Structure 1
Amino acid sequence: MTTSVVFIHGLWIHSVSWRLWQELFEKRGYHTLAPDWPGDGRTVAATRAEPGRLLDVGVDDITDSYAQVLKDLPDAPIVVGHSFGGLIAQKLLDRGLAAGAVCISPAPIKGVRAVPLSLLRSSFPVLRSPANKRRAVSLTERQFAYSFGNAISSQESEELYNELTIPSPGRPLFEASTANFRRTSPTAVDTRRGDRGPLLLVAAGQDHTVPAVVVRGAHQLYARAGVSTELRTYEDRGHSAPFDHGWIELAQDTLDWLDEHGLRGRLM
């Protein structure tokens, strides 16, 4: 039996960003999928051409879309998510739909209190206007360089911007930014659940969009409840870590972590 891995992208990055991870994981015996968010086109160009399909898509819409993908698989898969994809991965694990989860620079779940200045600056292209809650918003190359590309060369940042970026719905950022001021929120996760699969939280020390202190805040919520959750930090990496020139380090470490937890690609 082959174990499945479902990759989940975050805001402003198309699912094609996972293609190298998919190739590597499939060589190790996993079956991989990288589904699109609701409204995404099948390619970067198609998504850019029809941003109106992304209007008013929120965290619950995205989670439900991936939940259906997971339910259609023969067994509970592993989920690997980046940024808002990392938040979605935690929600899927919380629902009991995943065998384990790896969350790279995950967007803050409800209860994380840290709000560093760089996170606010990275969110500003969306949060500056309440109307953006029901709009699709694109980053400029300069905004991408600050939010994603600050730990890589300007040339590589420009290349990634041209190759991978797409417009994204503004609603998830508004839901995350108001989560701690509301009794209920789509970004809420039951961090006390003890019957879930293993969880790895990955922080990037140079990340402007989801600074390491935000990921540590999520880890503390899980640790406070006595639920085993691992935290790893890559001090010299930024928000582009899963798809820039150093992606292989994170991918290989993820494979090793899965092996350690008995979540191997092909069950013998």
Structure 2
Amino acid sequence: MIFIHGLWLHASSWQPWIDLFRKAGYDPSAPGWPGDPDTVDEARANPEGIADHGIDDVVAHYAEIISALPAKPILIGHSFGGMIAQKLLGQDLAAATVAIDAAQIKGVLPLPLSALRATLPVFKNPRNKHRAVSLTAEQFRYAFGNAVTAEESQQLFETWTIPAPGKPLFEAAAANFDPHSPAAVNTNNELRGPLLLITGGKDHTVPESVTRATLKQYRHSEAVTDILDFPDRAHSLTIDSGWRDVADASLTWLRAHGL
């Protein structure tokens, strides 16, 4: 089992999930994106190592990790990690995928104003495509922590946030105009493993409308594709005080499919 983080969160933010799933009998790990240092402090001190990695770079990075495993892993991804996990599932490199508040894939048309505001720290400067961009505490509060208290949002910001490459956001934004977009996913694959899409009803960064539009992209495949809604949750749902509800739901779904 591999956990894949998204933008602005360090891989170590998955540690409570790793502990839970290990106790449940899985063999989990959470390798970072290419260029990610081992710790949050190192990532903040060396943003240049994180910069300029695009979607294809990240997919290739995890595909290489998967190639060294004895069997196809289960993938659990959040935000852009959810998009990466879907791409790997579409390439038949995963046994199953749970995509939590996953970034929009090619073909998804809704572009809510809240998502534009959440990503404005990157898009306000075209040069950010090749840079690593950090969020302020206020920006994190809007993009991630709007469904928790201000105090909890601040704590999550201080504990887990790191700079993130701007390139994946620029690639996703241009996906529907690029016939060879790296944000394209093989949604028609009939032989892939099961997919669960999880959405937070209060998510500003990946609103529910985006996840439901993603679900429609899979309508031509007979492979299992399910959706689960947490109406009162926002983009911090994998790391905030309610993470266990999301993790338990993921675990229950996996077991229901014999995984």
TM-score by length of 1: 0.95
* Paired position in structure 2 for 1:231: 227
Q: Distance between the aligned counterparts of 1:40 and 1:243, measured in 2?
A: 19
1:143 aligns with 2:139: yes
Q: Please say if residues 193 and 223 of structure 2, whose CA atoms lie closer than 8 Å, have aligned partners that are also in contact.
A: no
The answer to whether the aligner puts 1:169 opposite 2:144 as a matched pair is: no
Give me the whole-angstrom Cα distance separating, in 2, the residues matched to 1:141 and 1:74.
41
| 2:199 is the alignment partner of 1:215 | no
Quote the residue 1:247 is aligned against: 243
Aligned length: 259
SS in structure 1 at match of 2:170: helix
Shift of 1:26: 0.3
Alignment correspondent of 1:193:
189
Which amino acid counterpart does residue 253 of structure 1 have in structure 2? A
Q: Specify the SS of the correspondent of 2:197.
A: strand
Instruction: Judge conservation of contact 2:191–2:223 (CA < 8 Å) in 1.
Output: no
**Contact kept in structure 2, 1:191 and 1:227, CA below 8 Å:** no
Question: Cα RMSD (Å) of the superposition?
Answer: 0.8
In the alignment, does 2:113 pair up with 1:111? Answer: no
- Name the SS for the 1:96 alignment partner: coil
Q: Which runs of 5+ in 1 are unaligned?
A: 264-268
Kept in 2, the 8 Å contact 1:148–1:240? The answer is: yes
Q: How does 1:1-268 map to 2 (within 5 A)?
A: 5-263=1-259
Q: Residue 85 of structure 2 contacts residue 97 of structure 2 at CA under 8 Å; is this kept in 1?
A: yes
1:55, distance to aligned residue in structure 2 (A) = 2.0
Aligned residue identity for 2:163? P
In structure 2, C-alpha distance between the alignment counterparts of 1:45 and 1:156, rounded to whole Å: 20
Distance in 2 (alpha carbons) for counterparts of 1:33 and 1:67: 14
Secondary structure, aligned partner of 1:232: strand
- Report the CA distance between 1:182 and its aligned residue: 1.1
| Distance of 2:220 and 2:123 partners within structure 1 | 31
Q: TM-score, normalised by structure 2?
A: 0.99
* Percent of aligned positions that are identical: 51
What's the offset of the Cα at 1:130?
0.8
In structure 1, distance between residues paired with 2:51 and 2:105? 22
Cα deviation 1:60-118 (Å, max 9, x = unaligned): 11111111111111110100000000000001101111000000000000000000000
For residue 189 of structure 1, report the CA deviation from its aligned partner: 0.5
Consecutive unaligned residues of structure 2, counting only runs of 5 or more, are none
Q: What residue identity is the alignment partner of 1:61?
A: D
Structure 2 residue matching 1:31: 3-state secondary structure: coil
Partner of 1:266: none
* Structure 1 pair 30–226 and aligned structure 2 pair: CA distance change class (3 A): closer
CA distance in 2, matches of 1:182, 1:71: 29
* Equivalent AA in structure 1 for residue 142 of structure 2: Y
C-alpha displacement of 1:228? 3.0
Post-superposition offset of 1:224: 4.2
Q: Is the 8 A contact 1:8 1:85 kept in 2?
A: yes
